[in-house]
Amino acid sequence: MKPPPSRAPASARSPSAPPHGWWPRIRPWLYGVFAVLVAVLIVRQARTLDWNEVRQAVLRLQPHTLLLAGALTALSHLLYSHYDLIGRHLLGLSLPRRRVMAVTAVSYAFNLNLGSLIGGLAFRYRLYARLGLSTAETTQVLGFSMLTNWLGWSVVAGTCFVLGLVRPPETWGVPQPALQAAGAVLLLAAAGYLLACARSRRRTWRVRGHELTLPRGRVALIQLALSAANWLVIGAVLHALMPASLSYPVVLGALMVSAVAGVITHIPAGLGVIEAVCLALLGGQVGHGVLLASLLAYRVLYYLVPLSLAIVGYLRLEAVATRSLTEPESASPPPRS
């Protein structure tokens, strides 16, 4: 009997099989070159900074500014905690909404600080397995969550690029028209996804051996609205901490570039990447010391504070899962005589 079509031939699944096409061959080299360029930029910026100015700028941050940024941070993490609910809805899972949101929020905080492999993947698989989900179900929930996140980024970033809100420095070698063209491609890709969800007759696709079922148009619009709102709020967090001379659209554009740069370099928490990109894009408008102080405050509020709360949340989720597994045994009635 022939093997099912969903299984790839053994040669295709073998780790030693050579990659197909030119992109898998050059991708590691491109990532390496990009990481080196970012590292060089970080070192150059660090050597030119007046660290006393940075310290003074941090001390000048007003309490009401920190409170506003903190409130926006809480709103952003709350918005992100809804991402996995989309997969829960599409798969018809019976997990409580609050439990799913807690898992998503905890995983997001660890993802920001430890990278997607440990935070976004490992913690989700661990916590959802404790709640009774299979690996396949967790993979689908995670897939829809990632798709939601980058759908919103594509629209927000594409709009920023097309409108010319991001002006790359000459040292990057990226002309403004090229960046605007890239923004147009991002917007077209997002529009294509929305159109496919709304109009496509074929609802299920197979990509690299994985089955992908398109959500309905209404769900796709919720994905876009939720993610785009979250990216806009993240931009508002960063802008609240920035000098008043920097406009929100300009700060948002820099954030969009730093987000994808952090993913490409695979550096946990984007350490140095956000700072290097923002210093390159915004450093010509404000002092580097003041700018770095704002970025350090952003990292503490948006990354480190949620991480401390996520550690407590993770321990709580583990305790609840353990109790739910032991309660049925302790609560079972004694055998009849």
> Could you report the per-residue pLDDT of 27-37, keeping only the tens digit for each?
555 445 545 55
Taking residues 331-337, what's their average pLDDT? 46
Q: Mean pLDDT over all residues of the chain? A: 80
Looking at residue 164, its pLDDT comes to 92
Looking at residue 292, its pLDDT comes to 84
Q: Is the pLDDT of residue 177 over 70?
A: yes
Question: In degrees rounded to 5, what are phi and psi of residue 175?
Answer: -70, 150
Looking at residue 250, its pLDDT comes to 95
User: Taking a C-beta distance cutoff of 8 angstroms, is the pair 140, 148 a contact?
Assistant: no
User: Taking a C-beta distance cutoff of 8 angstroms, is the pair 83, 149 a contact?
Assistant: yes
Taking residues 75-99, what's their average pLDDT? 95
Q: Is the pLDDT of residue 219 over 70?
A: yes
Q: Which of 116, 148, 168, 164 is nearest to 277 (CA)?
A: 168
Query: Any idea which residue has 């004694």 for tokens?
Result: 334
Residue 337 binned pLDDT confidence (cut-offs 50, 70, 90): very low
> Could you report the per-residue pLDDT of 264-293, keeping only the tens digit for each?
665 554 556 788 888 889 988 887 878 888
Residue 213 binned pLDDT confidence (cut-offs 50, 70, 90): confident
Looking at residue 171, its pLDDT comes to 77
Q: For residue 68, what is the DSSP state?
A: H
E strand segments, the chain = 204-207, 210-213
Query: Any idea which residue has 């290097």 for tokens?
Result: 276
> Could you report the per-residue pLDDT of 41-69, keeping only the tens digit for each?
445 544 544 455 555 656 677 889 889 99
pTM: 0.78
Q: ∠ CA(7), CA(124), CA(89), 5° rounding?
A: 75
Taking residues 97-118, what's their average pLDDT? 88
Taking residues 79-102, what's their average pLDDT? 95
Q: For residue 324, what is the DSSP state?
A: H
Looking at residue 290, its pLDDT comes to 81
Spatial distance between the Cα atoms of 117 and 231, rounded to a whole number of angstroms? 21
Taking residues 115-143, what's their average pLDDT? 86
E strand segments, 202-254 = 204-207, 210-213
Query: Any idea which residue has 């960063």 for tokens?
Result: 238
User: Taking a C-beta distance cutoff of 8 angstroms, is the pair 127, 103 a contact?
Assistant: yes
Residue 228 binned pLDDT confidence (cut-offs 50, 70, 90): very high
Looking at residue 266, its pLDDT comes to 56
Q: What are the Cα distances from residue 61, in Å, to 58, 207, 295?
A: 6, 49, 12
Give me the helix-helix angle, 273-282 and 248-265, nearest 10°: 140
Q: Is the pLDDT of residue 75 over 80?
A: yes
Give me the helix-helix angle, 23-48 and 248-265, nearest 10°: 120
Neighbours of 34 (CB within 10 A): 15
Looking at residue 268, its pLDDT comes to 54
Residue 168 binned pLDDT confidence (cut-offs 50, 70, 90): confident
**Percent of the chain clearing pLDDT 70 (strictly above):** 74
